[in-house]
A and B are shown apart, each in its own frame.
Chain A
Amino acid sequence: MGQNNFKELEKILVESRSKNSDKTKQNINSNINFFGFVSNIIDLYLPKLGNVLTSFDSSSDNIKNKK
C-alpha cells in the first residue's frame, strides 16, 4: 500500500500543537487528585455517617418504647 497522508496530517496537527498540552495534562492530574481526595473523604466518613444515622434511629426507637 502507498503513502497514507491521513497519518501525515495527524503529525502536522500535533507538531503545531502549542505548549497547552502540558497545561492540559496538569489540569487532568489536578482533577484526578481532586476526585481521589473526594473519594477518600467519602470512604472515610460515609461509614461513620451511617453509624450516626443508625444510632439516631435506634435512640428514637428507645424513646418511643419508653413512652
Chain B
Amino acid sequence: MIINLLNPIVTIPSLKSISDEEALEQYLLTQNVNYFNILYDRYTNKVYSKCVTMLKDIEMAEDATQEIFVKILLSLSKFSGKSKFSTWLYSVTYNFCIDIIRKEKKDITQTYGDYTKFEIEDDSAFDAEIMETNVYRLKDVMTELSAEDNGILLMKYQDELSIREISEVLNKTESAVKMKILRAKERFMKIYKTKYGESVA
C-alpha cells in the first residue's frame, strides 16, 4: 500500500511514439514505472533471444533477462547518451552473458579442431549466404558456436549494428572487431560444412 502511494501509476499519453531516450529521461525525472515499462516492452524479447542463443538454456535466459533489466535500472544514471540506448542495452546483455558463462566455467572461445578447415579472406564475404541459411540449420549451427561468436554474429546480422557500434559494445578497436567477425564467420562456415556436408554458399 505504502509502495503504491509512493509510486503512483500515472497514465502517460502517446506511449508508443516516445523515443527510448525520451522514455529514459522521463523515467529519471518522474520515477514513473510506466516509462521504464516502455523500454522493457520494446526490448525484453530481443534481450531474451540473445540470452537464449548465448547461454543455450531457456531458464537461465529468463533469469538473465530479469537481472539485465534490473542492472540497467540501477545504472541508468551512468548512461551517458553517447551511444543509442539499444546499443548500451546490447552491451550490458552481451557482457552479462559472457560473465555468467565465465562463472559457470563453460567455454567462451571454443577450439574447433575437429571441423573442416574454412578460411574467409574478405570480411564482408558470405554475408548474404550466412543470413539466408535455413533457420533451423542456423539454430543448429549456433548451438555449436561459442557464446562469444554467437554474440558477435547476432550483433552483426540480427541487430544490424555497424562495426563502430560493435566496437563500442565490445570495447575493442574497429579492426579488432572486423577480425572477430571474420573468425566467427569462418567457424560458422566450418561447423555448417561439417554438419551438412556442403558449404553455406
Residues of A within 8 A of B (CB): 1-10, 12-14, 17-18, 20-21, 24-25, 27-29, 31-37, 39-40
Q: Is the interface of A mostly helix, strand, loop or mixed?
A: helix
B154 touches which one: A1, A6, A33 (CB < 8 A)? Answer: A6
The reply on B18 being an interface residue by CB < 8 A is no
What is the distance, in angstroms, from A8's C-beta to the closest C-beta of chain B? 5
CA distance A40 to B62 in the complex (A): 30
Cβ-neighbour of B62 out of A6, A24, A29 (below 8 A) = A24
- Which residues from chain B sit less than 8 Å from chain A, CB to CB? 2-4, 6-7, 31, 33, 36-37, 40, 44-46, 48-49, 52-53, 58, 62, 65-66, 69-70, 73-74, 128, 131-135, 138-139, 142, 153-154, 157-158
CB of B7 within 8 A of CB of A27, answer no
Query: Is there contact, CB below 8 Å, between A24 and B133?
Result: no
Closest CB pairs A-B (n = 8): A6-B157, A6-B158, A13-B49, A14-B45, A5-B135, A8-B135, A10-B49, A33-B3
